[in-house]
Amino acid sequence: MKTSRRKWEHIDITLNKEVEGPQTTWFEHVHLIHHAAPELNFTDIDTSIYFLNKKLSAPVMITGMTGGHPDVAHINAALAEVAEEFKIAMGVGSQRAAIENPELAESFAIVRKKAPSTVLVANIGAAQIVGGYSLKEIKKAVEMIDADAIAIHLNPAQEVIQPEGEPIYRNLISSISRLVDAIDVPVIVKETGCGLSMEVVRDLRDAGVRIFDVSGAGGTNWILVEKYRALKVGDELKAALADSISVWGIPSAASIIEARFMAPDAVIIGSGGIRTGIDAAKAIALGADMVGIARPALEAYFRGRLNLYIDAFIREIKAVMFLTGSKKVHDLRKKPIVITGVLREWMSERKIDRWDYELMRRGLSKTSIL
């Protein structure tokens, strides 16, 4: 039950402790250009996209957060209901607990019951991929929620701090490559708050991965989450380590740029500190195909405002599309943007040529696989 208990502790800490920052997303260094004569009516704006062979009403995913504890099934049920109502995608939290203890499977399985038609994404950790899980366990995770894809989450920083962490990553790329070849649903690789670099995206793309969720720094900081858990069990060493490395990671805006630059033919999910529809529009303009939100949806649920939050979030995306003259979601990728400050310096230092990047983000050198 250790894994199950940890899942509940994560939710409790995320809701009740200050676990964002200290980095920002760097979206403050991304500026969209107001178009005062958009030549569109607001009713002309179409926020729909196709993802994993299903039509979504908006380029939004409630990314994997929870499950694996008897007391959290109601959370997954509510998130799934709103995903179905608004026709957006949803991922579940790590399914390791339910694979270890089948009695917990219902806390995950309930999502397909509540969301029979929208996109659902299963979730297993990298440590399990290299630590002994066979194709049988991976398929069990997919079948548990009748998933359209499975996400492999990378959380090396969290594993280093977590009191019971398993920072075992040797042979991960080859293990993911074998999984991509063996399983009959797409594999998504996602970070958990520290971002994906060009180098990692390159290696995973070579391994056959074509969908990436960058989950950059600037949102929920899982190093800080594990710091509170370490303090609770008296592990002062790991708590002190967390204080030192809580600044670690690639800010979300930079990670989206790196991922798109290295993988022009991939689907990029921009997540990590996405809090508003303006954040979402900036992420898409930078090169993401869609965005992921997590903690804000969880907080909205516990405030009794989940439906309102999702509705407002989608309408904010639509408003920014209108104000930039973007009729379709991917038109945002073709609109001019201004990149300033440290983000611009980051691109220079990482030798990301601005003109080449412009071609990548505008989709002029890729074939979409949405």
Per residue in 58-111, pLDDT tens? Answer: 999 999 877 667 778 899 999 999 999 999 999 999 999 899 899 999 999 999
2: confidence class by pLDDT, cuts 50, 70, 90? low
Cα separation values, 227 from 5, 10, 12, 110, 252, Å: 16, 11, 13, 31, 22
Domains of the chain: 2-361 (3.20.20.70)
Q: Hey, which bits of 155-229 come out as E strands? A: 187-191, 211-213
pLDDT category, 11, cuts 50, 70, 90? Answer: confident
Per-residue pLDDT band for 3 (boundaries 50, 70, 90) equals low
Question: What number is the average pLDDT over the span 250-279?
Answer: 97
Does 366 score more than 60 pLDDT? no
336 phi and psi, to 5 degrees? -65, 145
> Once rounded to an integer, what is the mean pLDDT over residues 165-179?
94
Predicted local distance difference test score (pLDDT) of residue 71: 78
Decide which of 185 and 5 is more confident: 185
Give the pLDDT confidence score for residue 69 in this predicted structure. Answer: 74
What is the rounded average pLDDT of the residues 300-319?
Answer: 97
**C-alpha distances in angstroms, 161 versus 226, 240, 353?**
6, 9, 36
Determine phi and psi for 53, rounding to 5 degrees: 65, 20
Q: Which residues contact 331 (CB under 8 A, 6 or more apart)?
A: 321, 324, 325
Mean pLDDT of 224-251: 93
* C-alpha to C-alpha distance for 229 and 214, rounded to whole angstroms: 25
Q: Is the pLDDT of residue 48 over 70?
A: yes
Q: What is the reported pTM?
A: 0.95
279/3 Cα distance (integer angstroms): 33
Separation of first and last alpha carbons in the chain:
38
- Altogether, the residues listed in the chain come to a count of 370
CA separation, residue 48 to residues 68, 320, 336 (Å): 32, 15, 22
157 confidence band (pLDDT: 50, 70, 90): very high
Is the pLDDT reported for residue 15 higher than 90? Answer: no
pLDDT computed for residue 363 by the predictor = 86
Check if the beta carbon of residue 288 is closer than 8 Å to that of residue 268. Answer: yes
- Mean of the per-residue pLDDT values of the chain: 94
Share of the chain above pLDDT 70, in %: 96
**pLDDT above 70 (res 370):** no
SS3 269: strand
CA-wise closest residue to 120 among 100, 149, 144: 149
Across residues 234-250, what is the average pLDDT? 94
Query: Taking the mean position of all CA atoms in its chain, how far away is CA 310?
Result: 16
CB neighbours of residue 340 within 10 Å: 11
Give the pLDDT score at 4. 61
**Average pLDDT for 181-197:** 97
Residue type, 217: A
Residues contacting 228, CB < 8 A, separation 6+: 13, 17, 19
- Dihedral over Cα of 341, 259, 159, 99: its sign: positive
Measured in whole angstroms, the distance separating CA 312 from the mean position of its chain's CA atoms is 20
Whether 369 has a pLDDT exceeding 50, the answer reads: no
Residues 165 and 159: beta-carbon distance below 8 Å? yes
Q: What is the pLDDT of residue 352?
A: 97
Using the predicted structure, report yes or no on whether residue 124 has a pLDDT greater than 90: yes
Q: Which helix (H) or strand (E) holds 8?
A: helix 2-16
Q: Which runs of E-coded beta strand occur in 114-258?
A: 120-125, 149-154, 187-191, 211-213
pLDDT band (50, 70, 90) for residue 367:
very low
Sign of CA dihedral 101, 223, 88, 186: negative
Question: Can you tell me the distance from the alpha carbon of 287 to that of 62, in angstroms, rounded to the nearest whole number?
Answer: 19
Round to whole Å and give the CA distance between 215 and 234.
Answer: 29
